[in-house]
Structure 1
Amino acid sequence: MTKPLNNLDQRLSARLKQERILRGWSLSNLAEKSGVSRAMINKVERGQSSPTAALLGRLSGAFGLNLSTLLARAENIDNVGLIREVDQTRWVDPETGYIRTQVISRTDAKFPLDIAKIELPAGKSIAYKAASFMHHCQIIWVFSGRLTFIELDQTHLLQPGDVLQLGAAQDRIFSNDGAQICTYSVTGIRS
C-alpha cells in the first residue's frame, strides 16, 4: 500500500514536473541527465512515490539547482526578515528518516544563501552526487552527535563544534556512525 504524500511532497512533485517542463525536457531527457529511471521520475511527479534525499539530489543536480533551492521553489519562498522556527520548512527523507529543516533560502543574486539544519538518525547515511553541489560553496557545522563525511578518498570525522569548509563539488557521503542523532547545519552560498 502506498503511503499518502504530505503537503510538501505534493508541492515537490509539482515543482519537479514544472522544472522539467520549463526546460522543455521529456521524462527520458531528465532520466538521462539525472541517472534516475524514467519510471521513478514519473511516479514522483504523479505523487505516487515520496522522493528520497538522494533522489532529490540527483534531480536537482540535473536541473543545475541544489537541494535547498529546489525545496525553496517548491515552497515558493524567498525568506526575508524574521523566520520563526514553526514557519521553517521541514522535510523527512522516507528512506532514512533524515530531517531537513530549511532555515533560510534566498534565491536572489544579491544574497544567494541557504542554511539547512539536518538531523541524521544513528546508523544512517545520505549520498549525494557532485551535481547536487555545482556552483555552490558549502560549510558543515556539527551541533551534536558524530558525523562522518566522505568526499573522494578523504574521510573527516566531525564532532560537536567542528566546522568543515568544502571545496569543489565532488560526490559526498554524510554518515552517522554514532549511537545518537547527529544534528548539523549545511550553509551554502551560490556562486
Structure 2
Amino acid sequence: MTDELSSKEDDINRRIGQRVRLEREARGWSLTELAQQSGVSRAMIHKVERGESSPTAALLARLSGAFGMSMSQLIAQSEIQPGTLLRHAQQPVWQDPESGYIRRHVSPGTLPLDVVNVELPAGVTVPMAAISYFSRRQLIWVLEGALTFQEGDKVFEMAAGDCLELGDPADCAFSNRSGQPCRYAVMVLKAG
C-alpha cells in the first residue's frame, strides 16, 4: 500500500469510527444494544468508535446492516461530499485490513443509488452476513477478472461483463479463486 493510500486509510477509519458512534447515538442505542443488533462484540465496537481498530469488511457489514444501511452508505457518510461531481481523487477509499480488498465509493449526489468499485485480490474470499442486505436491492457487475459469488446455497461463477441481481437476504461470500485480481461494481438501491 502506498503512503498516500495508507494515510487516507487511517483517516477514513477514524471517520468511520466517528460515523458508527453518530449512527448508534442517533438511534439512542448503547454499545450493548448495537452489539446485540449487529452480532459484533461491545469491546470491538468501542475500539472501532475510538479509532483504535481497523474494522474488517465483515464487521462493517454487520454494523451497517444493524443501522439499516449498506456498508457503502456507512463509508460514504463518513466522507460526505456535496455536489453532483465526485472526482476520482475525492472518492472515499477503504481497504479491508484482513483481505486487502479495496472499496471505492464512486457515486456522488443524493440519488437513491450507491455505486461502489471493488478490487478483490487473487485468492481472497470476503464473507458478508445476511444482515448486510436487509431492505436493499443490489447488482454485482464484474468489470475485470473472475468472481465466484455465493448467495446462501447458490453459487454463481461470473466473468468480466456478467451482472447479477441479488435475491432475498442471505449470507454471501465474494471469492476470487483465480491468480489475477478481480474488479467489480456493486450497485445498491437505497431503501427509501
Q: TM-score if structure 2 supplies the norm length?
A: 0.91
Q: What SS does structure 1 have at the residue aligned with 2:48?
A: helix
Query: Is 1:76 matched with 2:84?
Result: no
- How far apart, CA to CA, are the structure 1 residues paired with 2:17 and 2:70? 16
Hey, what's the Cα distance between the residues in 2 that align with 1:113 and 1:105? 9
Matches within 5 A, 1:1-20: 6-20=10-24
* Contact in 1 for aligned 2:149/2:175 (Cα 8 Å): yes
* Matching residue within 100, 108, 117 for 2:103: 100
Distance in 2 of aligned mates of 1:84 and 1:43: 31
* 1-structure distance, mates of 2:30, 2:90: 34
1:60 corresponds to: 64
- What corresponds to 2:3 in structure 1? none
Q: Quick one: distance in 2 between partners of 1:60 and 1:190?
A: 13
Aligned-pair CA distance for 1:105? 5.1
**Are the aligned partners of 2:84 and 2:108 in contact in 1 as well (CA < 8 Å)?**
no
User: How far apart, CA to CA, are the structure 1 residues paired with 2:23 and 2:190?
Assistant: 19
Which stretches of structure 1, 4 residues or longer, exceed 4 Å deviation after superposition? none
Letter in 2 for 1:186: V
2:25 counterpart residue number: 21
Deviations 1:111-160 (A, max 9, x none): 30000000001111111111211111111111111100001110000011
Counterpart for residue 112 of structure 1: 112
Partner in structure 2 of residue 91 of structure 1: 94
Q: Indicate if the aligned counterparts of 1:100 and 1:118 stay in contact, CA closer than 8 A.
A: yes
Secondary structure of the residue that 2:34 maps to in structure 1? helix
How many corresponding residue pairs? 185
In 1, the alpha carbon distance for the partners of 2:142 and 2:68 equals 27
SS at match of 2:188: strand
Q: What does the per-residue CA deviation read over 1:36-93, in whole Å, with 9 as the maximum and x for residues that have no partner?
A: 1111111111111011111000000111111111111111235x42222112111101
Give RMSD over aligned pairs. 1.6
Question: How far apart are the structure 2 equivalents of 1:59 and 1:154?
Answer: 25
Amino acid at match of 2:81: I
Q: Is the 8 A contact 1:68 1:105 kept in 2?
A: no
**Equivalences for 1:141-152 in 2 at 5 Å?**
141-152=141-152
Which residue identity is paired with 2:30? S
Q: Residue 149 of structure 1 contacts residue 172 of structure 1 at CA under 8 Å; is this kept in 2?
A: yes
> Which whole-Å CA distance do the structure 2 matches of 1:105 and 1:168 have between them?
27
CA distance in 1, matches of 2:156, 2:108: 26
Q: Retained in 2: the 8 A contact 1:68–1:102?
A: yes
CA distance in structure 1 between the partners assigned to 2:145 and 2:84 by the alignment:
30
What is the distance in 2 between the residues matched to 1:112 and 1:141? 18
Letter in 1 for 2:70: N
Q: Percent identity?
A: 48
